[in-house]
Amino acid sequence: MSFYRNSVWFLKGLREYTKSGYQAAAQQFAPKDLDVDLSGRCFLITGANSGIGKATALEIAKRGGTIHLVCRNKERAERAKAEIVNEANNQEVYIHILDMSKPKMIWEFADKFQQANGKLNVLINNAGCMINQREMTADQLETNFATNTLGTYILTTALVPLLERCEDARVVTVSSGGMLVQKLNVDDLQFEKGVFDGTMAYAQNKRQQVVMTEQWATAHKGIHFSCMHPGWADTEAVRSSMPSFHEKMKNRLRTATQGADTVVWLAISSAAAQHPSGLFFQDRKPVSTHLFLAQTRTTPGEEEKLMKSLEEIATNHKPNTT
């Protein structure tokens, strides 16, 4: 089954996820969807100092939005901010240093952010990693899971009260079409069983993000949740974590701006908000979260178990306030 899933997915990717796939899809885009004045609207973007996160921040800043860049590295964040401010001619760009693999830091950041900011219109969960060897954080969490799944879960959960204060509040999570090759595995969230495969761990994390998005949409009716696949884009993350893939595909990869297009569209367009909350998008259209005959569907009980497990782990890693 894994051979079938991977083969079908790769052929699909060659048709749809490449630069030519984007160009074909873009012929159906409505340009006016992104003709939006974002003055006074507040956006928080994780992993915003490079790649799709930075491209997203730039496009939103060009339209007047207030940008909060959440980055792990201060020097790279400062460089990204300077470039965004200069190119967008927008001074409302702010930096927050945060490691998304550290739960206590995320809880503390979210609390401070809510105290300092009266509103948040859109949260964009973009930060992620693909570590190809099984590594544990100082909190004894597997690093990919801690960053991609638990970090996203905690930040979103913690910021829901602030988002709920705004009309047209949105949460956009940058997932991946790679999740199509994985069935949700709620019994091994941190990849303790079998041989570790960083690519498959990443794909499992991205499947978890899709399920989280669906569950959040049901739980929080006042916020529009969505997740998306950016396609195969030429970013620093792809170059460092998947060097052989990048070398083979580099002439067919999308630009970071093309990869970010649907993130921006989901974050700012009125057309995106007309779709039901909780969907998975590719090139501005909702698409299936499962490949044909791939046997990746799970039960409501399994999805509920994922959310309960994440709640328990997240709660156990809250800062000690006593």
Q: Please identify every residue annotated as catalytic.
A: 202
Count of residues for the chain?
322
User: Closest by alpha carbon to 185, among 107, 298, 98?
Assistant: 298
Is the separation of the CB atoms in 41 and 122 below 8 Å?
A: yes
What would the DSSP string read from start to end of 65-102?
Answer: -EEEEEES-HHHHHHHHHHHHHHHT---EEEEE--TT-
Question: What count of other Cβ atoms lies within 10 Å of the Cβ of residue 97?
Answer: 13
**Residue given tokens 């006593």 in the structure block:** 322
How many helices (H) and strands (E) the chain has is answered by 13, 8
**Residue 170 backbone phi and psi in degrees, to 5:** -140, 150
Dist. CA 120–CA 83, nearest whole Å: 23
What would the DSSP string read from start to end of 172-212?
Answer: EEE--GGGGG----TT-TT--SS---HHHHHHHHHHHHHHH
Is the separation of the CB atoms in 72 and 97 below 8 Å?
A: yes
Is the separation of the CB atoms in 264 and 35 below 8 Å?
A: no
The CA distances from residue 265 to 50, 162, 197, 233, 270, in Å, are 19, 22, 33, 17, 9
Q: What angle do CA 78, 79, 80 make, to 5 degrees?
A: 90
* Two tokens, residue 177: 């079409």
